[in-house]
């Protein structure tokens, strides 16, 4: 989208409104129960991607499991950073696919980090994580982390970070795992 400089600050908000309007249109009665409704295929097509090149921010935050996750723990790994919330319909849809990818690539230099935007904190995130058997680390946004990554204008928003710690892509909407496998494989090959 090529907007005049005056409108650039609103670009993210416009994307969020478009994405959320599309998602709201596609929600079915079962949108929050973890069962994918066929109408969500339209929501999958609303994913917006941007290529960016910026250093991963430094952080050290508590995880749902009670540990601390630091950005340095992710050195030399390809990292999929997923900003999400328990109340977000598309987040519910993509969670099983993220869990499956994490389990499939657990022996590779790859990590998924879930960053919850739930204001209620781990109290509401824990039952969700249990229900979906989330095997990757989950931390809470500390109020600054989303901005430090480059901005989160709608949920879910996913960033791909290469093994050198550079943010390479930002996806607004459901993360297209199958479409990104080739790119992820390339980044993993570079990590070895």
* Helix, strand, or coil (residue 6): helix
Which residue in this structure is represented by tokens 């499939």? 104
Q: Locate all alpha helices (DSSP H) within the chain, ordered by sequence.
A: 11-26, 40-44, 89-104, 122-131, 145-149, 177-191
- 117 lies in which domain range? 5-191
Backbone angles phi, psi at 32, to 5 degrees: -105, 5
Token code pair at residue 122:
């781990």
Q: What is the pLDDT of residue 149?
A: 94
Report the C-alpha gap between 17 and 11 in whole angstroms: 10
Report the C-alpha gap between 74 and 188 in whole angstroms: 13
* CATH number of the CATH domain containing 95: 3.40.30.10
Report the C-alpha gap between 111 and 70 in whole angstroms: 13
**Whether the Cβ atoms of residue 114 and residue 84 lie closer than 8 Å to each other:** yes
Per-10-residue mean pLDDT for the chain, 192 residues long? 36 40 34 41 49 86 98 97 97 97 96 97 98 98 93 95 95 92 94 82
**Whether the Cβ atoms of residue 103 and residue 71 lie closer than 8 Å to each other:** no
**Domains: count for the chain:** 1
Q: What is the pLDDT of residue 13?
A: 41
Strand-pair partners of 63: 139
Strand-pair partners of 167: 54, 161
Residue 50: CB atoms within 10 A of its CB come to: 12
pTM score of the predicted model: 0.76
Residue 40: CB atoms within 10 A of its CB come to: 22
Token code pair at residue 179:
């479409």
């Amino acid at each position: 989208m090529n907007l005049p400089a005056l409108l650039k600050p609103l670009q993210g908000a416009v994307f969020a409104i478009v994405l959320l309007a599309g998602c709201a249109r596609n929600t079915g009665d079962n949108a929050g129960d973890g069962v994918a409704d066929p109408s969500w295929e339209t929501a999958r097509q609303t994913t917006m991607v941007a290529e960016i090149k910026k250093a991963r921010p430094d952080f050290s935050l508590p995880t749902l499991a009670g540990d601390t996750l630091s950005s340095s723990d992710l050195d030399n790994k390809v990292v999929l950073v997923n900003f999400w919330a328990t109340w977000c319909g598309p987040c519910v849809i993509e969670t099983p696919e993220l869990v499956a990818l994490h389990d499939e690539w657990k022996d590779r230099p790859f990590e998924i980090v879930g960053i919850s935007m739930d204001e209620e904190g781990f109290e509401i995130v824990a039952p969700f994580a249990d229900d979906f058997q989330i095997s990757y680390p989950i931390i809470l946004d500390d109020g600054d982390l989303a901005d430090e990554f480059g901005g989160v204008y709608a949920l879910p928003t996913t960033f791909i970070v290469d093994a050198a710690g550079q943010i390479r892509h930002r996806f607004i909407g459901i993360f297209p795992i199958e479409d990104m496998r080739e790119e992820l494989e390339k980044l993993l090959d570079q990590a070895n």
